[in-house]
């Protein structure tokens, strides 16, 4: 767990996210919570994580996502040295339908 972000307010936010039951509920909540650029940035980072995990190379990822090499590098670092949050969700999504 990243102690830099740990707080009661962060716990409350994460508990609120855990109450969401559908993609539509997520759209509504994140639309209220975040700006469009923030959502797009998170979406891009998660797409990059899935592509890196599946073995795609930086040039393919840049081409397909428009992510900068700095973003790809940051996501790659999180995949290898982070808290395993990307891998947890990617593996769970693969378990649901075989692809992520």
Q: What is the pLDDT of residues 1-42, one digit of tens each?
A: 678 889 999 999 999 999 999 999 999 999 999 999 999 999
Q: Are residues 83 and 48 in the same domain?
A: yes
Give the pLDDT score at 91.
95
The DSSP call for residue 57 is -
Whose CA is closest to 20, among 9, 32, 8? 32
Q: Are residues 52 and 92 in the same domain?
A: yes
Q: Are residues 56 and 67 in the same domain?
A: yes
Give the pLDDT score at 18.
98
Confidence grade of residue 97 (pLDDT, cut at 50, 70, 90): low
The DSSP call for residue 99 is -
Q: Are residues 74 and 100 in the same domain?
A: yes
CB atoms within 10 A of CB 51: 20
**CATH number, position 85:** 1.10.1270.10
Confidence grade of residue 99 (pLDDT, cut at 50, 70, 90): low
CA distance 95 to 100: 9
Round the average pLDDT of the chain to a whole number and report it.
94
Q: Count structural domains, the chain.
A: 2
Higher-confidence position of 77 and 2: 77
Domain with 76, as residue range(s), is 35-100
Whose CA is closest to 72, among 88, 89, 86, 92? 86
- Is residue 75 within 8 Å of 85, Cβ to Cβ? no
């Amino acid at each position: 767990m990243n102690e830099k972000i740990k707080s009661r307010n962060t716990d409350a936010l994460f508990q609120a996210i855990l109450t969401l039951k559908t993609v539509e509920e997520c759209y509504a909540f994140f639309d209220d919570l975040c700006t469009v650029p923030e959502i797009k940035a998170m979406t891009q980072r998660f797409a990059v994580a899935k592509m890196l995990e599946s073995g795609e190379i930086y040039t393919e990822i840049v081409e397909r996502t428009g992510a900068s090499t700095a973003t790809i590098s940051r996501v790659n670092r999180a995949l290898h040295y982070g808290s395993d949050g990307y891998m947890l969700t990617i593996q769970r999504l693969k378990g649901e339908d075989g692809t992520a």
